[in-house]
Every structure is written in C-alpha cells, then in structure tokens.
Amino acid sequence: MNVPRHWREQVRRYRLLGSKCCDCEEISFPYRLVCPKCRSRKCEDYALIGKGKILSFTDINSPPQEHKYNMPYAVALIGLVEGPIITAQITDARAEELEIGMDVEMVTRKIMEYNEDGIICYGYKFRPIVKYAHP
C-alpha cells in the first residue's frame, strides 16, 4: 500500500509545490534538487498558482488497474502560467469537451484509493475554469 511513499509526496500534490532555483530563478515541477537549467543545487519550494493551458490531451478507457473505478477519464499536458508543464487528469469534463489551448485550473481530488480498506490518495487534477458569476 506504500503509505510512506504517498505521505512523502502528498503536500506537493495537495498544494502544487514545485521548486525555484535560487540562482537562475528557473521554476520546476515536479520539484528538483538540481536546477535543470543551471545545475545549481540551491532550489527552494515554490507554490504554483494552479492555472494553465492544455497543450495536449487524451482519453483513457483502459487504465492501470488502480484507476479502474474512475474510467473513462481525460489526462492532459498542461502548460502552467509559471512555465513548467505538468501531467495531470482533467476532471469535471470529458475528453470530447477539451481542446488544445483551453484554460484550466488546479483542483484537489481523489487520485486513487487502495480498495475499500486502504488509504485514499488525494492530489491535483485540473478542470475547465469555474466562472465567478455573481448575481
């Protein structure tokens, strides 16, 4: 069930924490211990705001077994406004509703659960932006 493994990553998944290079300011997601741009070892946590655009997407209907209860679902490559590209599920929308260039926002959802008696893993997904309409 890999409890420590999920626990170790969960805050980054809940809050979309990547890293920022203290030397060249390159922002990365997932977080890096060595800056991929300048190889500096000084990287610090950096919270991404969770907004971006769909760069590519697909629809999954033959998922890995631990995701079966959630199928069908869409996954996408999302270009975050800060620069990094992230791989994530798209929720509250089917693949047919998506297009390249669509604006999406981060939301925390159930990613998978270990049957009825195991831990539940929460993390980021993205969805078409919810409008703030006010009466």
Partner 1 sequence: MNDNVAVIGVGLGNVGERWDKSLRELAIESIWMAFEDSGIDNVDALYVGNMSSGPFIEQENIGTLIADFAGLGSIPAVKIEAACGSGGAAFIEGYMAIKSGMYDCVLVTGVEKMTDVLPSKTTSILANASDRDYEAFHGVSFVALNALVMRRYMHEFNVKREDLSIFPVISHKNAPFSKHAMYRKELTHQTVINSPMIADPLTLMDCAPICDGSASVILCSEKKAREFTDAPIIVSGVGLATDTLGVHDRKQMTTLSAAVEASRKAYKMAGVTPKDIDIAEIHDAFSIMSALSLEDLGFVKKGEAAKMGLEGQYYIGGQLPINLYGGLKARGHPVGATGVYQIGELVYSLRGDGRVDAEKGLAENIGGSGSTVSVCVLERGD
Partner 2 sequence: MKPNKSVGIVGYGVYIPKYRIQNTEIARVWGNDPNLVPIREKSVPGSDEDSVTIAIEIARNALKRAGIEPKDLKAVWIGTESKPYAVKPTSTIVAEAIAATPFVNAADWEFACKAGSETVQACIAYVGSGMANYALGIGVDTAQGSPSDALEYTAAAGGAGYIIGSSKESLAVIESSVSYVTDTPDFWRRQHEHYPKHGNRFTGEPSYFKHVINCSEALMDELGTNPEDYDYAIFHQPNRKFPLEVAKILGFPKEKIMDGLISPYIGNTYAGSALLGLASVLDISKEGDRIFCTSYGSGAGSDSFSIEVTDKINDRRANAPSVKSYIERREEIDYARYARYRKKIRM
Provide the binding-site residues for partner 1, judged by CB under 8 A: 5, 9, 30, 36, 55-68, 70, 73, 75-77, 84-89, 95, 100, 111-112, 121, 123, 125
Q: Taking contact as CB under 8 A, which single stretch among the options 25-33, 34-42, 56-64, 105-113 is the one that binds partner 2?
A: 105-113
The span from the CA of 31 to the CA of 18, in Å, is 4
Bridge partners, 28 (sequence order):
19
- Give yes or no for residue 40 binding partner 2 (CB under 8 A): no
Question: Which residues, listed in sequence order, are joined to residue 27 by a DSSP beta bridge?
Answer: 20
**CA 122 to CA 135: how far, in whole Å?**
33
Count, residues near partner 2 per rule CB under 8 A: 25
CB nearer partner 1, residue 64 or residue 135: 64
Contact 94, 114 (CB under 8 A): no
